[in-house]
A and B are shown apart, each in its own frame.
Chain A
Amino acid sequence: MSDFSLNVREEGDVVIIETAGYLNNVGGEKVSEACYEKMETGKKLFLINLENSKVVNSIGVSILIEIIEKLQDVDGKLGYYNLAPIVEKTFNIMGLTKYSTVYYSEAEGLEGMA
């Protein structure tokens, strides 16, 4: 597993970001750039599909926290789905799930964001 890539698409008001690779400093920056770009266009609801990101480090987590803080300023929301157990555990322990939501599918995420 190497190289981080992402795909951004929209489902109504929700921006879906699909990641592939290590969600570290590099990966996290790419995700935050994509989020901030969309926020500038007025988007506030973001769902990240982490199916192909099996490893997340604490730098990646801190970048997600930055995104959550920025979204809170505009009453936005961040959610995730398709998390590997190890990633979900990391998010829980690092307190990320207090301010963002873990869903188990895209459909559930879209419904939760509405």
Chain B
Amino acid sequence: MIEVSVADQLDYYLTSLDELGEVLIDADQPGSVGKGILRLTLGTVMASKGAIFLYHQKKDKLTILASQGLKERTPFSPPKKLKSQSEKYRHDHINIDKIPPWLTGELKSCINELGSKILVPLFHKDHLLGLLCVGKKFMGESYTGAEIKILEIIANHLTKALYNYKLIQDVEDKQNQLNLKLLELETLFDISVAISSVLDVGELSDEILWRSVGILNASKGMMLIPKENSPILEPNSSFNWDDMDALLSKKLAVFKKVEDEKSGLILTPENKNALQKKLGEDHVIIAPLQTKDNTLGYMLLCNKESRHGVEAFNQTDLDLLTALCNQGAVALDNARLFKDITEAKQFNESILGSIATGVITLDTLGEIDSINQAGQNILKMGMDEIIGNHYMFLFEKDEEILELIQKSEVENTTHSEINMSFLTVSPETVVNVSAAPRIDPDGNIQGLVIAIEDITDVSKIKNTFKRYVSKQVVDELLDDDAKLNLGGEEREVTILFSDIRGFTSMSENMNPENVVATLNEYFSDMIDIVFKHNGTLDKIIGDELMIVYGAPISADNDTQRAVVTAVEMQKQIERLNEQRKKRNEEPIMVGIGINRGIVVSGNIGSRDMMDYTVIGDAVNLGARLCSAAGPGEIYVSPTVWKETKTKFHYEKLNPIKVKGKKEKVGVYRIDWSA
């Protein structure tokens, strides 16, 4: 055997330590450090087999960092007493010529496989970081004290390397955790941005769900929203979940619990509830979409993924999901509110658009900020000319309207005026105007609302009709268009004709002014009586009046009102004649005829000249009866007599022959002085 000098051996060990330094500096990965150190160690002490084991304190597992002469193994549990027994050999080695009883399990099997003789625990302060295991020396020789010492020095360096590696790994883990936290914060931030930018409920639901699934490493998820007026929960959005056919009710205990406690739940396979059974899932996490007052729905995620399968969700996951759901609930509430407001706005606009009254809103500066279609039609202006214009300019021609608006502005009360001439459009346009303050929900004045009703047509009708009928009839017609049929129809009416007897010869002795004055006085008195009894003044032909009862509006007492009108006319003529006598004027004597029958009523005439009137035989008979009546007499037809005989005194006269009738017609004379 070759004798090795102490000096040579020292030189060899120093060389080994030098190489150890290079291994530690050059290698950037723990695996390569482990391999390098193991190779160096085994070379230094002249062993062929050995291994470095890493101890994971959190997992309580041993893994093989580097080995020579050992089959690959997955991480395994260490002997129960490894840490306590190893502590006794801190800065020392365990001689395992004979395996101690506490060295059990997979580690014992490794030691046997390696034929190990020495085990060096690798301690950094109180932390066991690993084990250096060295097999038997080449040729079965025993390890010398120097070899053991150098082994302990190498082990010490290895411990430092492993500790550094552990520190680096801890930093990397922390970095990874920080990245995940950053991702969580970014996700929360993104959702808060979405609150103000995404207003579509569906799009927002997808966004919140997708981000929640991704950030929580869930395999799938869905957002459940209660169906309106129903306990059924419907998936508003779902992710990676294409076979969702379970009917979910918010009455399920788990949803009730979440709603009542306003907090989420982690469901595990140990106590599977009805929801897990319905979904067929073991790991579920659920959180409410909770606003201040309402539970809008629920976010439900399943199966937290890890690199090695599915694991249970934890409290941190629930806290994160709750934060996401809280953000999401605000976003959804905003989106829904926006949808409601948009719908309400559209509803209001459609109402404003459909009404005939023009509605103009003014802001606090008096500028017009909205106008409906009717308003544009009334003003005969487009939106561009109106919006942004100040009311002072818009209504500059209408002082009365400006005054009305200013009054409302100053007093913060509603003011209105009717039948105003609207010069902004034309002198012929007639409007009703009201101005009222716009008050927001907090009671603050936000401007004014001006309503303009174009009553030009109504005014025309009134002006036209009031020449023919009483104000009451005009109002009644305007209140109920259904009563007004001016297009031509058959109807039963009572017709009254009156005629001044001998007026033509009387007027021959009068100057024209007196003729006009006499007729005006007479007609004024007569028409007052006609309107008093809601008769329709059909015509004034010379000194003749034609009055209709029952058109355009009919009533049950048309005939009775006609007869009363005739009686009052005769009585008024008596009074008129007394006055005329005082003025040395000739008396006026009038004959009146009344008939009732079917006529055709409607607007009759040409395009340029059209009048509402009645025509037919019944009209002609009325006129004939008038002609037949003597001065101061009222003649009525049998139909009139029949309807009114109980209320008036009649005298039956001999039938008379009238033009256009083959047979004579019956005649009754009223004793109107009775």
Contacts and interface: CB of A to CB of B under 8 A. Distances in A.
Given A1-B239, A57-B217, A25 B307 contact: yes
Interface string A38-71: 0000000000000000111111001100000000
* Contact count band on B: 20 to 34
Given A55-B214, A59-B217, A24 B305 contact: yes
Interface residues of A, number: 22
A90 B305 contact: no
A90 to B, nearest CB: 6
A112 interface: no
B183 interface: yes
A44 B321 CA distance: 40
Contacts of B306: 25, 59
Contact of B183 (A22, A55, A63, A94): A94
Which of B239, B240, B242 has most A Cβ within 10 Å? B240
Contacts of B179: 93-95
B217 A93 contact: no
Contacts of A90: 183, 214
A1 to B, nearest CB: 6
Interface in B64-96: none
Contacts of B241: 2
B213 interface: yes
A55 B241 CA distance: 14
A25 B182 contact: no
Interface in B202-247: 210-211, 213-220, 239-242
B170 interface: no
Contacts of A55: 210-211, 213-214, 239
A3 interface: yes
Given A54-B210, A56-B214, A59-B307, A93 B182 contact: yes
Given A59-B305, A93-B182, A24 B211 contact: no
B10 interface: no
Nearest to A23: B214
A74 interface: no
A89 B214 CA distance: 12
Interface in A1-41: 1-3, 21-22, 24-26
Contacts of B214: 55-57, 86, 90
B190 interface: yes
Contacts of B307: 25, 59, 62-63
A22 B211 CA distance: 12
Nearest to A4: B240
Contact of A89 (B186, B210, B305): B186
B383 interface: no
Nearest to B211: A86
Contacts of A63: 307
Which of B179, B214, B219, B239 has most A Cβ within 10 Å? B214
A22 B180 CA distance: 18
A1 B217 contact: no
Contacts of B175: 95
Interface string B178-202: 0110110010001000000000000
Given A55-B210, A57-B305, A21 B240 contact: yes
A2 to B, nearest CB: 4
B354 to A, nearest CB: 43
Given A55-B210, A90-B183, A93-B179, A24 B242 contact: no
Contact of B305 (A25, A54, A94): A25
B240 A58 contact: no
Contacts of A26: 219
A2 B182 contact: no
B242 A57 contact: no
Contact of B240 (A1, A62, A89): A1
Nearest to B212: A55
A36 B180 CA distance: 27
A57 B215 CA distance: 6
Given A55-B210, A59-B217, A93 B183 contact: yes
Nearest to A56: B214
Contacts of B305: 24-25, 57, 59
A3 B215 CA distance: 19
Contact of A86 (B190, B218, B239, B240): B190
A24 B306 CA distance: 9
A67 to B, nearest CB: 13
Contacts of B219: 22, 24-26
Interface string B608-620: 0000000000000
Interface string B240-256: 11100000000000000
Interface string A68-102: 00000000000000000010011001110000000
B209 to A, nearest CB: 9
Nearest to A63: B307
Given A54-B210, A59-B307, A93-B183, A22 B239 contact: yes
A42 B214 CA distance: 33
A63 to B, nearest CB: 8
A93 B180 CA distance: 8
A86 B220 CA distance: 18
Contacts of A54: 210
6 contacts: A22-B219, A22-B239, A24-B217, A62-B307, A89-B190, A93-B183
Interface of B: 175-176, 179-180, 182-183, 186, 190, 210-211, 213-220, 239-242, 305-307
Given A25-B305, A90-B183, 15 more contacts: A2-B220, A2-B240, A2-B241, A22-B240, A24-B219, A25-B306, A55-B210, A55-B211, A55-B213, A57-B215, A59-B307, A86-B190, A86-B210, A89-B186, A93-B182
What 6 A-B pairs come out closest when comparing CB atoms? A2-B242, A25-B305, A55-B214, A57-B217, A2-B240, A59-B305
